[in-house]
Structure 1
Amino acid sequence: MKLLRYGPRGQEKPGLLDAQGRVRDLSAVVPDIAGEVLTTPGLARLRGIDPASLPLVDGTPQQDLRLGPCVGRTGKFICIGLNYADHAAESNMPVPREPVVFGKWTSAICGPNDDVEIPRGSTRTDWEVELGVVIGTGGRYIDEADAMDHVAGYCVVHDVSEREIQLERGGGQWDKGKGCDTFGPIGPWLVTADEVPDPQQLDLWLEVDGHRYQDGNTRTMVFGVRQLVSYLSRFMSLQPGDIIATGTPPGVGLGQKPPKYLVAGQAVRLGIHGLGEQRQRTVQA
C-alpha cells in the first residue's frame, strides 16, 4: 500500500493511493496515518479494504492536490550521519565504526512539495536525499533478526542541512544545523514494507535546477536498515510513527568543488525508486 495524508497544512486527512494513481479517502476508517494504524494489526486492517470502496478525492496528488507529511504525530525524527562511505570521504570525515546518531526537531517536518526555507543569515544550506524508515511495531533491545518486523514502511526524506551551524557554530552542533523549520520534507507517501522486497537495493537521486548532483543506491550504506533499527533500540524505545533517516549518498553541496549551496528561488527535485518523488522551491525565511 501507498499511504498518504492530503489537504491544507495542519488539516491533513488520511488517504491511500490507488492503482490508478488517485487518492482515496480513509477518514471514515482511521483518524490519521499515525500511531496504532502503523502497527502490524493496523496495516493488516487497511489491506483488507477494497480501495474502490473508498471515496475518491478530487485532484491529482502533487499537482492540484497538496500532500502533507506521509506520517502524522511523529514522536522522534532520528537521523544517521555519514552512512555512505563515499559521502564520509567527500565530507573529509572518517567512516564511522558505529552509527552516527542525531535528531531533527519534529517541527522541521513538512510535506514533500512544500517550500524549503533558507534560514535568515544562512549561506550554506545544503541538500541530502535519504531513505526514510517508518517504525510500525515499537520495541526496545530489538534483535537484528527481528528488526524488519518492526518496520511499517519506507518513504523519501530530504534531510536539508545548514553546514555552518552544523559544523562550526558552537563547536559543531548537528541537531541545531539540521532542525530548522521545513528542513524535513517527507513523502509523498509511505510505501508499506511488503512492497519493498529489499530496502538495500534502492536507487536514490537529487537534482537542483535540473542538474543531478546525487545518484546513489542504498546497497552502499555502511549500516543497513536491519542494523540501524536494532542499534537504535538499544538507546531508546522505538515507537509507531518514528522516522529514521538513514543517511545520504555522495553529491551534497558541501562536497562540490567548489562547494555549492542552496539560495532562494531554486527548484529541488529528488526521489527513490518505487517510493516516489519530491519537488520543492527554496524561499527566504
Structure 2
Amino acid sequence: MLNYFQFTSGSTDRRLNCFAIYVLSIGVGFLVAAQSVAATDHFDGLRARLIKDGFGPDYVHTAYGDPGALFDVDTASFYFVQRESKMNYNRFLEDAPVNSAASYLEKFKPVFQDVEARYPVPKEIIAGILLVETRFGRVTGNRSVLNTLSTLSALGDRKNRKYLFTALREKRIKVSPKRVSKWADRKSDWAYKELKAYLTYTDKNEIDPVAMRGSYAGAFGFAQFLPSSVLRYGRDGNGDGKCDLFTHPDAIESIACYLQKHGWKENMSREDMTKTLFCYNRSTYYVDTILSVADKLKERR
C-alpha cells in the first residue's frame, strides 16, 4: 500500500528526481525495459490450479484467453530495482501536499463526519494515507492487477523462474539464480493467495479481471488495498450495494475499517498508532510520514 508523488514546490529532491519517484509509484517500465509476453505457455499450470481450487473453467479460460492477459516480466523486475529507503517522504510534508489534504478533508467533510461517528480513526490519518498512497486517487497505478498477480504466482513453475532470471540478466540487473529462486518461493505463494482473492472479488462484483489497473505489487484503488484486504475490510461507503475502492466514500470508510480491525482505538499513544499503521504498510518512513501529515492537518483546525 504505497505510492510516491510529485507536488509543485521550489525544493530540490535530495535523493531521486521527481519523475523517477512517479515512475516507481505506478510501475511504469522506465527504469527497466518493458517486457511482457503472451500468457499461453506461462500460465498453463496456473489456470489448471485455479480450476482445481474451485474457479469456474469458463471464467478462468475467458480471463487468460484475453489478449491483455500477459506474463509481465517488467513488473516482476521492479522487485529487484526498487529501494524504498531512497524515496523522499519529506516531500509529502511540504505546503502543497498538506494544503491538498486540507482541501480534501473539506471537500468530503460529510463523508468524514459519518465515518468518524462510527470509527475511532481520525480523519487526518485517513487523509494522510490517501495522500501518500495515490494523491487522493489521482494516480492509482497502470499495471494490470491480473498480470501482476498471475506472473508472480506462476513463478512457482521452474521454467518461469528460469525465464525471469534470463530476462533480468538481459536487463543487466545483477541477481543470482539462488536469489531469484528464494524470492520466487516466497513471492509466488503470497501472490497466489492474492490472485484467488482478486478473482473472487472481480467475479462477485462483475468486474473484468483484465481491465483493473493497480501498482506493481497488485494493490489497487484510492487506498491501494491488496485483494485479500478488500475482501476482509472493504466497505460500501456510499450505499450503492458494492465496495468500489475507486470511489472516495468507499475508500475512506475502508481505511477506517482496516485500521479499526487492526487495533486503532480512541486516545491511543503515538507508539500504539505507529504499531497499527505498521500493519497498513510495514515501513517506518511511511508511518512517520502519515503521522506527521496528520499532525500538520490537526494544527489547522
The TM-score with structure 2 as length reference comes to 0.30
Higher strand share: 1
Q: Which has the larger radius of gyration?
A: 2
Higher helix share: 2
